[in-house]
Amino acid sequence: NSSSLYQELNGQSGLERLVDAFIQEIAGDEQIFHYFAKSNVDRFREGFITHLCDVSDGPCEYQGDNMIDIHTGMKINEADFNRVVELLINAMEAEGIPYRTQNKLLARLAPLRPEIIHR
- Contacts (CB under 6 A) with ligand HEM, residues 54-73: 64, 70-71
Tell me the residue type at 59: P
DSSP helix/strand/coil, 105: helix
**How far, in Å, CA of 79 to CA of 74, rounded?**
14
Q: Give the footprint of ligand HEM on residues 98-117 (CB under 6 A).
A: 109, 112, 116
76 counts as binding ligand HEM under rule CB under 6 A:
yes
Which residues make Cβ contacts (< 8 Å) with residue 13, sequence separation at least 6? none
Q: Which of residues 32-51 bind ligand HEM (CB under 6 A)?
A: 32, 35-36, 39, 43-44, 47-48, 51
How far apart CA 89 and CA 94 sit, in angstroms, is 9
Residues that bind ligand HEM (CB under 6 A): 32, 35-36, 39, 43-44, 47-48, 51, 64, 70-71, 74, 76, 80-81, 84, 109, 112, 116
